[in-house]
A and B are shown apart, each in its own frame.
Chain A
């Protein structure tokens, strides 16, 4: 009995000591996953996901408490990238994605109230009080914050037109192959 207790104790102690030393030798700092996910996010901190900005959403996605499809501006492409990063399978069909969209100001309705300018996370709307506002297409992320704030519904999200430079060959649709 005593020998059994002694040997088990000894075994435990030796293995424990070895592992303790190894843990010190092979120590790994922090979780790099959150940073990697954050790098994939749009970074506009628009808040449509319900988290306080992209870093918050990134940590929630890394922890598994938010789905990879949480980010509406990121759309299907982001969901796919995140799923690949996390090694999970998702059904991309459920992600609503009507293609990229950007905001456009209807000049005849805009009253120049400047409210949209204040909520734009990328300063993509230019204009001054009592002046018609305009959207810089390159900077707009299509987050939709301005659409909600516009008192006259002058701002709408419009699909980005396809040009020769952006046109992509469709994937062959084949019955047999």
Chain B
């Protein structure tokens, strides 16, 4: 149990997908204008990553590995992810039209969000067990959501600031992201094992 908790913290904070691994930057910059849509995006991505991790684990261990179909891995994974995203899109459009509108193109683009495929491939690469894979995927997604929320909150405040013309818009957002990344370096080397 403790091991899973530590894995969760490690994936969410120490090896944060966005700020440390620099995956999933597209929605990170794209849907972080306000906290509600950022949170919605975080939830959608969490769902997709966790589902995709579970599905790809089964695919890998029950289909690809036994039959030696390793070369089809990316193809199959993308197929599964795309289906999961399609499903999420339908659910969001049905139950939260406002969020659907706010997320816009970034919702279908979760398919090509490198964080999703990246996390799925990493779990295969690390040869994790099923529960470990789930925790890893969920932890990564949690880290993504937390950072999205933080960043969106700061950008909301930034929208009210008198940013110099040269930095207004995207530039200051990138400066902000870099400073946030700087802050997350504090988690580097976090190690709960006895020294």
- Listed in ascending order, the chain A residues whose CB lies under 8 Å from chain B are 3-4, 7-8, 11-12, 15, 18-19, 22-23, 25-28, 32-33, 87
Cβ of B112 within 8 Å of any chain A Cβ, yes or no, is no
By Cβ-Cβ distance, the 5 closest A-B pairs, closest first, are A26-B94, A15-B83, A26-B90, A3-B67, A22-B87
Residues of A within 8 A of B59 (CB): 11
For the complex, count residues of B whose C-beta is within 8 A of A.
21
Q: Does B104 contact A (CB under 8 A)?
A: yes
**Mask for B74-87, Cβ within 8 A of A = 1, else 0?**
01100110010011
Query: Contacts A3-B67, A4-B69, A26-B94 known; A87 to B101 CB distance under 8 Å?
Result: yes
| Total A-B contacts with CB atoms under 8 angstroms apart | 47
Extra contacts, 6 of them, besides A4-B72, A26-B90, A32-B97 (Cβ < 8 A), are A3-B69, A7-B67, A8-B75, A11-B79, A18-B87, A22-B87
Min Cβ gap A90→B in Å is 15
- Which single residue of chain A is at the shortest CB-CB distance from B83? A15
Select which of A15, A26, A32 is within 8 A of B91 by beta carbon.
A26
From A3, A7, A12, A19, contact of B87 by CB (8 A)? A19
CB distance from A68 to the nearest CB of B (A): 15
Question: Could you list some 15 contacts between A and B, CB below 8 A?
Answer: A4-B67, A7-B69, A8-B72, A8-B79, A11-B76, A18-B87, A19-B87, A22-B86, A22-B91, A23-B90, A26-B93, A27-B94, A87-B101, A87-B102, A87-B104
List the B side residues contacting A12 at CB < 8 Å. 79
B63 adjacent to chain A (CB < 8 Å): yes
Seen from chain B, the residues whose Cβ lies within 8 Å of a Cβ on chain A are: 59, 63, 67, 69, 72, 75-76, 79-80, 83, 86-87, 90-91, 93-95, 97, 101-102, 104
Contacts of B75 in A (CB 8 A): 8
Nearest CB of A to B92, in Å: 9
Which A residues touch B80, using CB under 8 A? 11, 15
The complex places the Cα of A23 from the Cα of B83 at a distance, in Å, of 12
In the complex, what's the smallest C-beta–C-beta distance from A35 to chain B, in angstroms?
A: 12
CB distance from B119 to the nearest CB of A (A): 20
Residues of B near A3 (CB, < 8 A) are: 67, 69
Contact indicator A15/B69 (Cβ below 8 Å): no
Q: For residue B95, which residues in chain A have a CB less than 8 angstroms away from its CB? A: 26
CA distance A143 to B102 in the complex (A): 33
Residues of the B chain whose Cβ atoms lie less than 8 Å from the Cβ of A28: 93-94, 97
A8 to B71, CA, bound (A): 12
Hey, which chain B residues are within 8 Å of A23, CB to CB? 90
